[in-house]
């Protein structure tokens, strides 16, 4: 297996990720059947999770992409950088798909921007949640669908990066 020197240990293997993502897909299938939801991939980190998640949802759906980030290297900058326009979501059942919730600054900002566009509903699916790292202002923020709650570790792989590297690892690893 390819484990770069900067990876301290593997937190979730490819198989563990596949099983958890499959379970989330099952829940989404039963919650969104007959609704033609719009799944929005929050770029870039959620791209791998997104691709696996939507293939586990067994009902008609559409996809969109939205670019936002607040990280620089391994630190949250606190400043959310939204680089795209919110797609036309009026009256749509929207599921925002994010790789990880940390301080929740990014998703709180993205969620507010999406809510301004009058979706019929807006839910959040995230693979990882670092609950203990919430910004005081967003301490009650939680996702509607969560893969795993993790401690305060910097993790990479399965789409997550450190300065753009390691997104291609098929597992989630702890960065040294």
Active site residues: 102
Q: Indicate the SS3 state at residue 72.
A: strand
Smallest distance, Å, CB 136 to Mg ion? 22
Q: Indicate the SS3 state at residue 130.
A: coil
CA angle 9, 78, 121 (to 5 degrees): 90
Q: Before 44, cis peptide (omega within 30)? A: yes
14-32 helix and 47-55 helix, angle to the nearest 10 degrees: 60
Smallest distance, Å, CB 66 to ligand XMP? 11
Gap between the Cα atoms of 100 and 162, Å rounded: 13
Smallest distance, Å, CB 172 to ligand XMP? 9
Q: From the list 28, 48, 104, 143, which residue makes contact with ligand XMP (rule: CB under 6 A)?
A: 104
Candidate segments 23-31, 65-73, 85-93, 105-113, binder of Mg ion by CB under 5 A: 65-73
Q: From the list 37, 45, 119, 157, which residue makes contact with Mg ion (rule: CB under 5 A)?
A: 45
Smallest distance, Å, CB 72 to Mg ion? 9
Give the x-and-dash track for 133-162 against ligand XMP (CB under 6 A).
---------------------xxx---xx-
C-alpha distances in angstroms, 111 versus 35, 107, 141, 168?
Answer: 20, 6, 11, 27
Give the x-and-dash track for 60-79 against ligand XMP (CB under 6 A).
---------xxx----x---
C-alpha distances in angstroms, 108 versus 11, 14, 78, 86?
Answer: 26, 29, 12, 14
* Site residues (vs ligand XMP, CB under 6 A): 45, 69-71, 76, 98-107, 154-156, 160-161
* Site residues (vs Mg ion, CB under 5 A): 45, 71
């Amino acid at each position: 297996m390819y484990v770069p020197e900067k990876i301290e240990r593997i937190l979730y293997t490819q198989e563990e990720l596949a099983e958890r993502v499959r379970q989330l897909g099952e829940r989404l299938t039963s919650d969104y059947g007959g609704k033609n939801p719009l799944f929005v991939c929050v770029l870039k980190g959620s791209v791998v999770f997104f691709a696996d998640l939507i293939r586990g949802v067994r009902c008609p759906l559409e996809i969109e992409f939205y670019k936002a980030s607040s990280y620089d290297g391994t630190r949250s900058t606190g400043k959310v950088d939204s680089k795209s326009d919110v797609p036309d979501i009026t009256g749509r059942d929207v599921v925002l798909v994010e790789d990880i919730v940390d301080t929740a600054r990014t998703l709180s900002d993205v969620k507010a921007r999406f809510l301004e566009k009058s979706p019929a509903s807006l839910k959040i699916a995230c693979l990882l949640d670092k609950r203990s790292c919430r910004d005081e202002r967003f301490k009650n923020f939680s996702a509607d669908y969560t893969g795993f709650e993790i401690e305060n570790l910097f993790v990479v792989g399965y789409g997550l990066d450190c300065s753009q590297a390691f997104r291609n690892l098929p597992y989630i690893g702890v960065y040294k």
